Amino acid sequence: MMRILIIEDDKQASAYLAKGLKEVGHMADQASDGEEGLEMASAGSYDVLVVDRMLPKRDGLSVIQSLRKAGNHTPVLILSALGQVDDRVTGLRAGGDDYLPKPFAFTELLARIEALGRRPKAGVDVETVYRVADLELDRLAHRCTRAGKDIPLQPREFRLLEYLMQHAGQVVTRTMLLENVWEYHFDPQTNVIDVHISRLRSKIDKDFDSPLLHTVRGAGYTIRNGAGRDSAG
């Protein structure tokens, strides 16, 4: 469970997001302008802030800058109707951690909030070996093994698996993969990410009994032990 603050002036959209987040088991508070949002974010201890860029009374980016100046490092997801590359850059430069252009699918927002909320805190040692069931990824030795068997991976496949395992148990969307593994921010019209996933899957899952890399319909992918909320993909 995570405590999430939504700072968004569109009441209907804000209520819809809060309802959706509560349904999957998070706690969600709402603020409808920049001043109120800054006050609530400073006072409460939230795991993730969802901040709309254009807000009455105080601009979203200014809210983030004030928080950062005051030493508050709560992860921030910026929502914006402006989706161009330079807008994203200004948003991240102002202290945002992720940037989601409007309109978006709720599954995309949820995946990004969960990825932000479970990010390793700064200063905490990052694991050097990721493990999911019998799958191991040694980030220092650049080695991948499953059930003790070596699995040779291309550099990009390694980066892909690394990102998935870093967010083990969480849903990772196609755009998140494109942004974080390939570092591009376009919207692919083709199934380009699926092809890479299916190649990775054939290497880590094909010769083993229980699949670990699952497709989450309408959202993206997740790597975890066992079936859970899985569906055939």
Partner 1 sequence: MVPAVTALARLLRTTAFKLSLLYLAVFTGLSGFLFVSISRNTDTLMTEQVVQTVDAEIEGLADQYARGGARALVAAIDSRARRPDASLYLFVDFAGNVLAGNISRLPTTVLEEADGGVRRVKYGRGDGETEREAVVRTFEVPGGFRLLVGRDLGEQTRFRDILAGALRVWLVVVVVLALVTWAFVSRRVLKRIDAIAASSRQIMDGNLSQRLPLAGNGDEFDRLAISLNAMLERIEQLMQNLRDVTDNIAHDLKTPLTRLRTRLETTLNEARGEADLREAMEATIEDSEGLIRIFDALLQIARVEAMSPDGGLQPVDVAAIAEELADLYAPVLEDEGGSLKLDLLPVQTALGNRELIAQAMVNLIENALKYARSKNGQPLAITVMVRQEKDRILLSVADNGPGIEVKDRDRVLDRFVRLEQSRTEPGYGLGLSLVRAIARLHGGTLTLEDARPGLKAQIDLMVAPAAKAGGEEIDGTDRS
Closest separation in Å from C-beta 31 to partner 1 = 26
Closer by beta carbon to partner 1, 36 or else 179: 179
* Burial (0-12, 13-18, 19+ Cβ within 10 Å), 91: buried
Closest separation in Å from C-beta 206 to partner 1 = 15
Closest separation in Å from C-beta 36 to partner 1 = 29
Closer by beta carbon to partner 1, 19 or else 156: 156
Whose tokens are 């990102």? That residue is 163
Closer by beta carbon to partner 1, 131 or else 142: 142
Closest separation in Å from C-beta 169 to partner 1 = 26
Closest CA to 113 of 22, 12, 40, 233: 22
Closer by beta carbon to partner 1, 182 or else 208: 182
Closest separation in Å from C-beta 82 to partner 1 = 9
Residues that bind partner 1 (CB under 8 A): 83-86, 101, 103, 156, 182, 184-192, 195-196, 198-199
Cα angle value 4/27/166 (rounded, 5°) = 60
Closest separation in Å from C-beta 83 to partner 1 = 6
Closer by beta carbon to partner 1, 85 or else 140: 85
Closest separation in Å from C-beta 70 to partner 1 = 31
Closer by beta carbon to partner 1, 3 or else 199: 199
Q: 100 Cβ partners below 8 Å, 6+ apart?
A: 77, 78, 79, 80, 108, 109, 112
Give 221's DSSP letter.
E
Q: How far is residue 189's CA from residue 84's CA, in Å, rounded to a whole number? A: 17
Closer by beta carbon to partner 1, 47 or else 98: 98
SS3 219: coil
List, in sequence order, every beta strand (DSSP E) within the chain.
3-7, 27-31, 48-52, 76-80, 98-101, 129-132, 135-138, 143-146, 149-150, 172-173, 213-216, 220-223
Q: 164 Cβ partners below 8 Å, 6+ apart?
A: 172, 213, 221, 222, 223
Read off the amino acid at residue 32. S
